[in-house]
Structure 1
Amino acid sequence: MANRTGTYVAFDGLGEADPTKSDFKYYATLQAWSASKNIQFSLINCHEKTYAVRDTSKRATLYARIQERLRASKNMLVILTSKTRYTGSVLSYEIEQAIDTYKIPLIIACPEFSSILYVDSHSEIWPKVLKDCINDTGIEAIHIPFAKVCILDAITRFYVNGEHLSSGKSYYNLETQTKWGLIQ
């Protein structure tokens, strides 16, 4: 097994060639946080560890690169929005592989929520593959808003050889989210 040091970032490209029309903008935010000298945020991104796969790549090549990246990943940050497709996106394949093949903890970040205290509150944006396995024994997932403090804490704590999550419906408690300023 490869050295698992990176965070695999997954989102739905929504079939768009223009990244401003898809959830790519949230990935770009992560890159900006990581690049900023004024922000204490460091992201080791598995997408940068293997050579790029273009949208025009054949599906077999794309899936091979995804598997290569997942093998090097300690966890997966999944960005979900109201635009995320229920089925038919590469995101569904990425989630399925992370859970079934690589046993990687999922950090499910939702930009449209300022806090998450009730995991089912955003279940309508879960892709089918996630919805089908979220209650399975053994899946580890934490549901968080897309906030730097949450993301940084989660990626540094919940990973293959790190702290384990109790279920597929874990979240930060009220006290923690209040301390972070997510809840007033």
Structure 2
Amino acid sequence: MALLSALRQIAGICAGPLSDALETERYTLVLGTFSLPINIPRTNYNKGLQARKKLVAMVTDRRSSGCNDDILDALLSGNEGTREKLSDERIIDLLITLIYSGYETVSMTMMRAVKYLSDDQKALEQIRKEQVDIRKGKAPEDALDWNDYKSMTFTRATSEINYDPFLYPESQTHGFQPLEMADDARMCPGKEVAL
């Protein structure tokens, strides 16, 4: 689901044989990324390089096919007059980064949520009760909206930080200023497709 959403935003690809093939190529790329960089036939690294070549071929085909008004089209056309057009290799690097950050982030978050909820049955029951209560207040055909999410007090619960000046005097503060994801030139490349 997360990969299909990322593919739709990035390259306008909907569910079908192409998205299934790209799921296989994405998995092969991940295996190649986490292997020794020795290019010997039949190794995960070699298979990852072959998967990358297939993505390059897809980008080349897409360049000749015309406008689809998506992220890939914007990368292929470049910024007229102010920037050179990106090479296919650079576009592939950007696409792989977007797919990794948009898919792996979501899947890892979901996996951890399932793992931690299965470890804590009390929390799982409270979340289940909260969801059932919200669902009872809506018609069966009504979808959940942002107000429903905001009413999930247990799901959105966070820990309060103790600001007691007796424990933490004001002189012990530090000057750390966290940057937001899109606040400088090094912004998160997957912020649009991640949760």
* TM-score for both structures, normalised by structure 2: 0.22
Q: Which has the larger radius of gyration?
A: 2
The structure with more strand, counted as a fraction of residues = 1
* TM-score for both structures, normalised by structure 1: 0.23
